[in-house]
């Protein structure tokens, strides 16, 4: 794992990451595309019905303006997102290193924001705490070794490094294209 941005502490990291969602450039780039992004998320998530059918409870980590959450809801899932800035009805305010959910209450966790994680062991521990035994983790990971965005925090060596942070899970599906990996992990039904 390579840290591509240094922060003095967790508070400084949160302050900087909060700016992303409220950045006028980001708002202008993504808000006009909401409808098409919701549609493309729901198309991408369609295959998950085979593994974890609706109405399962889905939690999206780093969900910004909630298009991925709406994509899951379109498919009949009960979905909610968390981000540092809330987006009404779709995304609640929370740090994904300290999730406001009870133990074992989530069926499926989705994130395309793993490159914004500050503390991987804490992030992985929260996933393991809130996800039920037999639950699913679906992540979209980025590995293009080019310029880093303004808000990326770290870059994993490969998807195996992410999978290794979640003991007791196995890879159910993996798709790789253009320096990106979509990885579906399944948690053991009986926890060790
Ligand atoms: C690459 S964006 C992804 C946004 C969204 N998933 C999408 O596709 O539209 C990363 C998101 O992670 C959020 N984020 C960064 N650190 C976070 C944290 N500690 N807890 C929750 N969200 C965080 C950022 O605010 C940002 O909205």
* Contacts for 67 with CB less than 8 Å, ≥ 6 apart: 30, 34, 37, 38, 41
Q: Whose CA is nearest to atom 5 of ligand 1?
A: 63
Phi then psi dihedrals of residue 4, to 5 deg: -105, 0
Output the tens digit of pLDDT for each of the chain's 192 residues: 888 888 999 999 999 999 877 888 888 888 899 999 999 999 999 999 999 999 999 999 999 999 999 999 999 999 999 999 999 999 999 999 999 999 999 999 999 999 999 999 999 999 999 999 999 999 999 987 666 677 889 889 999 999 999 999 999 999 999 989 999 999 999 877
Cβ partners under 8 Å of residue 89, min gap 6:
66
The confidence score (pLDDT) of residue 190 equals 84
Integer Cα distance of 66 and 87 in angstroms: 7
Predicted pLDDT at 26 = 80
Q: Can you give the pTM of this predicted structure?
A: 0.96
Quote the ligand 1 centre to 4 CA distance (angstroms): 16
Does the beta carbon of 84 sit less than 6 angstroms from any atom of ligand 1? yes
Q: Is the peptide bond before 123 cis (omega within 30 degrees of 0)?
A: no
User: Does residue 111 have its Cβ closer than 6 Å to ligand 1?
Assistant: no
Q: Which two tokens stand for residue 190?
A: 């009986």
CATH topology of domain 2-187: Rossmann fold (3.40.50)
Q: How far apart (Å, rounded) are the C-alpha atoms in residues 122 and 117?
A: 9
Residue extents of the structural domains in the chain: 2-187
Pocket test for ligand 1, best of 17, 81, 126, 130 (most atoms within 8 A of CB): 17
């Amino acid at each position: 794992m390579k840290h591509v941005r240094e922060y003095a502490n967790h508070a400084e990291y949160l302050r900087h990451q909060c700016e992303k969602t409220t950045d006028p450039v980001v708002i202008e780039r993504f808000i006009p595309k909401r409808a098409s992004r919701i549609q493309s998320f729901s198309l991408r998530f369609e295959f998950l019905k085979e593994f974890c059918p609706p109405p399962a409870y889905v939690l999206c980590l780093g969900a910004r303006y909630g298009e991925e959450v709406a994509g899951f809801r379109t498919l009949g899932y009960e979905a909610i997102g968390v981000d540092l800035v809330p987006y009404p009805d779709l995304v609640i305010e929370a740090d994904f290193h300290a999730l406001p959910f009870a133990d074992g209450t989530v069926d499926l966790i989705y994130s395309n924001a793993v490159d914004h994680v500050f503390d991987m062991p804490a992030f992985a521990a929260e996933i393991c705490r809130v996800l039920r035994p037999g639950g699913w983790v679906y992540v979209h990971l980025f590995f293009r070794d080019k310029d880093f965005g303004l808000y990326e925090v770290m870059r994993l060596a490969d998807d195996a490094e992410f999978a290794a942070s979640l003991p007791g899970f196995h890879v159910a599906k993996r798709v790789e294209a253009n320096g990106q990996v979509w990885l579906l992990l399944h948690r053991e039904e009986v926890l060790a």
